[in-house]
Chain A
């Protein structure tokens, strides 16, 4: 059997399905529901077996369309940085507020993607987010939590 990344993904999915199936069997159901034709664990159990079946087949059967990915040409560093910025954005958005974090997230993302036109970067972050916030909060009446703007008295 030829081992390629697709097979490894299938193996991981097989292990994941086995774990899912194990967890499905652990779901606590009410005593009166235990022997019912259908309870909270029935459908997940079927899904667990289906996952084992399809990933098992993918593992066993030959793979005629092997996908080759040239890792040399992939931009792992920039993608990683972007994901990291997004995680920091997610971590600070509630505490700091929508306006400042979103503007800084956009500004930092433009910078790390190689942009250096500062004025354009600024316009497409702070004023852009302010306009977007006005659309959501001011016009559509969708609440946006923003402790920062509240602390400086811009938002009620």
Chain B
């Protein structure tokens, strides 16, 4: 193994490859900041360019683009509340409020360090556990996935603000309902389209996330402009770009990062689960384990609340390479694109890759890691300048947010209907936000809706329509037991507070 790591390092640390990773990080960050263009698009855009290089250099360029795009996505989540990809939605829960308090530089620095630490720890887990974890990931069946998704949705609802459990559950159901629009994945029967051809393919994730986060945030700021109690305060320019993380904040991060990286890595290893579920689960778990005083800060700019999803997100990215490299099964859309690129280079991922071509396996792992290190070195000094986006006066910033939102949808579909639908959803979301209906559960449910139905379908068909699949397997029963415990614990805490 040590020999493989050394070969991987030697390949990755040549002048040409370091230059490639720097170029990749720079372009990835820019592409990632644009709404609708996440890591998957960024890597897809780079594939034709990489074919001009040798496989190692091509993969290293893609690694830089990948981590750059992930960081760029976090940046737009934190600064504009506009997460372009599902994996960075949870980052905006505490990152955006922190930026609104004039700590944008600090929020970006916490995100950068947490991502780096998450990636580093998951690379260590990868070194020791890759072969054995690939076997574990294969033992997951449809009922387990279904139970895991129920757990994720319940956790995000249960850990929403005080007294909001029912509101959050209503938003979960609304998110699942929105996800059910369009063609049924198996039978191709159209549902809830009302004979409108534009709805046949369903509603896109970017549309829903732009409407409920970026656009509705912009409308809320305008709506509450004269509200003396609103959080729309003038942010301090001197504080805005400061990337200094104090001792107290560092202590919080030291505790959060290890546990979130474990969750992120383990979820990332499961094919199909990916960074989104990992970041939401890590956020939910973190809220569960911190002190009551810190819990109150969640959703209002908590350091733990920002660090947890960022760590888990990056750890899951590394984790998702386990099924891709050892089994040839891509764990997420991004790894699916990477798999395509690897096949294009003539590299065949699978169980034999680790045994027969360890140098390729470790070159990929090392190039991903070096991409992360370079990203940190490149982007930390730029944070004070990036953070100043928030110093743009609201009269300019709001139209620019709306412009980015509409452009994100326009380049995806070239369709007027999608723009109207986005405006409609944004208006409803703005109204719901006024009355404290939380949006994160809606987004998570929307992302998981299709997968959840697919796994429920398989489970019910295999059990011939019986719901016994929920307790037939020990793993499913355990996950469901945790879900039930979370709900009971939440009810108990609510009653305890009332009394």
Binding site for B on A (CB under 8 A): 5-6, 9-10, 13, 17, 20, 23-24, 27-30, 33, 36-44, 47, 50-51, 54-55, 57-58, 61, 64-65, 67, 69-70, 73-76, 78-79, 82-83, 86-87, 89-91, 93-94, 98, 102, 105-106, 109-110, 113-115, 120, 124, 132, 136, 140-145
Contacts and interface: CB of A to CB of B under 8 A. Distances in A.
B380 interface: no
A94 B226 CA distance: 35
A11 to B, nearest CB: 12
B419 A145 contact: no
B437 interface: yes
10 nearest A-B residue pairs (beta carbon): A37-B465, A90-B419, A109-B399, A40-B184, A40-B189, A65-B163, A73-B227, A113-B395, A115-B395, A43-B453
Given A47-B180, A102-B403, A67 B166 contact: no
B135 interface: no
Interface in B378-417: 393-396, 398-400, 402-403, 406-407, 410-411, 414-416
Contact of A61 (B166, B222, B498): B166
A64 B186 CA distance: 44
A90 B225 contact: no
A105 to B, nearest CB: 7
Contact of A17 (B173, B398, B434, B435): B173
Contact of B166 (A5, A54, A83, A141): A54
A55 to B, nearest CB: 6
Given A64-B163, A65-B163, A110-B396, A75 B223 contact: yes
A106 B414 contact: no
Q: In this complex, which of B170, B410, B411, B415 has the most chain A Cβ atoms within 10 angstroms of its Cβ?
A: B170
A27 B229 CA distance: 47
B475 to A, nearest CB: 21
Interface residues of B, number: 66
B192 interface: yes
Q: In this complex, which of A76, A89, A105, A144 has the most chain B Cβ atoms within 10 angstroms of its Cβ?
A: A89
Interface in B72-126: none
Contacts of A79: 219, 222-223, 430
Contact of B45 (A33, A40, A140): A140
A13 B416 CA distance: 27
B167 interface: yes
A45 to B, nearest CB: 10
A60 to B, nearest CB: 10
11 contacts: A29-B187, A30-B189, A54-B166, A65-B436, A67-B435, A74-B227, A78-B222, A90-B420, A93-B406, A106-B403, A145-B414
Given A69-B434, A78-B222, A124-B396, 10 more contacts: A9-B435, A37-B460, A37-B463, A38-B456, A42-B456, A70-B229, A86-B423, A91-B416, A102-B406, A114-B395
B228 A73 contact: yes
A109 B402 contact: yes
Contacts of A75: 222-226
Given A27-B189, A61-B166, A75-B225, A106 B416 contact: no
A123 to B, nearest CB: 10
A43 B228 CA distance: 45
A113 B221 CA distance: 12
A40 B223 contact: no
Interface string B170-188: 1001101100100010110
A90 B423 contact: yes
B223 to A, nearest CB: 5
Contacts of B224: 73-75
B191 interface: yes
B410 to A, nearest CB: 6
Given A74-B227, A75-B224, A78-B222, A110 B395 contact: yes
A37 B461 contact: yes
B432 interface: yes
B483 to A, nearest CB: 15
B434 to A, nearest CB: 5
Contact of B170 (A30, A42, A55, A132): A55
Contacts of B164: 65
Interface in B21-71: 31, 37, 45
A78 B225 contact: yes
B162 interface: yes
Contact of B411 (A24, A30, A43, A142): A142
B167 A82 contact: no
B457 interface: yes
A114 to B, nearest CB: 6
Q: In this complex, which of A5, A40, A141 has the most chain B Cβ atoms within 10 angstroms of its Cβ?
A: A40
Given A37-B465, A74-B223, A28 B189 contact: yes
Given A54-B173, A83-B219, A93 B416 contact: yes
B187 A30 contact: yes
B16 interface: no
A135 to B, nearest CB: 8
A10 B170 contact: yes
Interface string B271-291: 000000000000000000000
